[in-house]
A and B are shown apart, each in its own frame.
Chain A
């Protein structure tokens, strides 16, 4: 079941750059505080997710 942390807060940081061809690219990073530990979130950046996904552009 999801960790239903209703009161978590998230401080969003944006870094806007231009790619070599002029397209805009924006990097979003967050500083989040949670009243409940979310071990999945803590390890997300280092752990590959489980299933393959297929997307259309």
Chain B
């Protein structure tokens, strides 16, 4: 059963997706559903090994292209609606092992093109308002399948964190006439203290207001609202910046850094959104090699993050990592 239930207290939708309880969880070696189907083996999601990238609709989607009617009837206090949307999986490789950080630069450049293509194709659908590209990596985030992959959720509405960001961008734009993120970047590029990786067209910083110790936001330096605005050279430069950043993450403690990677870009609802500025946010959950930053009472219940570190110091740490 799957539906969207309105939370009138917080003013946001919650997706129920009970079928996801049965999704593949830590399959034993040799039974990865994302590896190419072996001769004589069990059928996997991808029958053939010869590809650069594969994208397919999630077998256990939170949002569905044809969701059907909700299983429960809503009312004025508790509206419900079908969980309309599309959930896709992107396989980075047919190899079972590896990470995004380990992709060769050429393949990283190709992946940027695949992300752009998915943003444009899914965003062109009239029922899709926001294309959300992300990757969850590492046991600390919650393992279900080891095979290197990312995900895309194509929402039929603006998710609440995105909407909040858009509201603040619009308010800043109305007040100053400037893009909020462009103003932030001007400050960061001048100050330099929180820069982690700077390339020709992109810069990765730990934001002044970072919530996680090693939270990084990777920005297009020029005002680009989405990947659709990128030139070929900018797409290649994004791949370079991303690869350097990920290698620094892995080099920091000598193991593959767990993280959530999320892309924020222009909604595809037909709005103008002049304050929207493409960036990728990384939320690594570790604050030391052994200790997690838990989202505990204050973070989960009050919505206020307590960061035990200073962004300026953590940026210097990451900047100093040799790759």
Contact between chains at A6 and B104 (CB < 8 Å):
no
CB contacts (< 8 Å) of B117 on chain A: these are 12, 14, 28
Contact between chains at B58 and A57 (CB < 8 Å):
yes
Q: Min CB distance, B262 to chain A, in Å?
A: 13
Within 8 A of B (CB), among A16-46: 19, 23-30, 32, 34, 38, 40-41, 44-45
Question: Which one of B50, B60, B113, B139 lies within 8 Å of A54 (CB-CB)?
Answer: B139
- Interface bin, chain B: 35 or more
Q: Which of B213-221, B237-245, B267-275 sits within the interface?
A: B237-245
Number of interface residues of A (CB under 8 A): 39
Contact between chains at A30 and B113 (CB < 8 Å):
yes
User: Contact mask B295-323 → A, CB, 8 Å, 1/0?
Assistant: 00000000000000000000000000001
Q: Which of B95-103, B184-192, B204-212, B286-294 sits within the interface?
A: B95-103
Within 8 A of A (CB), among B93-126: 93-99, 102-107, 109-110, 113-114, 117
Contact between chains at B97 and A50 (CB < 8 Å):
yes
Contact between chains at B97 and A49 (CB < 8 Å):
yes
Q: Which of B2-10, B68-76, B140-148, B222-230 sits within the interface?
A: B140-148
Question: Which one of B59, B104, B145, B147 lies within 8 Å of A40 (CB-CB)?
Answer: B104
CB contacts (< 8 Å) of A52 on chain B: these are 97, 146, 256
Task: Tell me the bound Cα distance from A12 to B115 in angstroms.
Answer: 12
Question: Which one of B51, B58, B142, B236 lies within 8 Å of A8 (CB-CB)?
Answer: B236
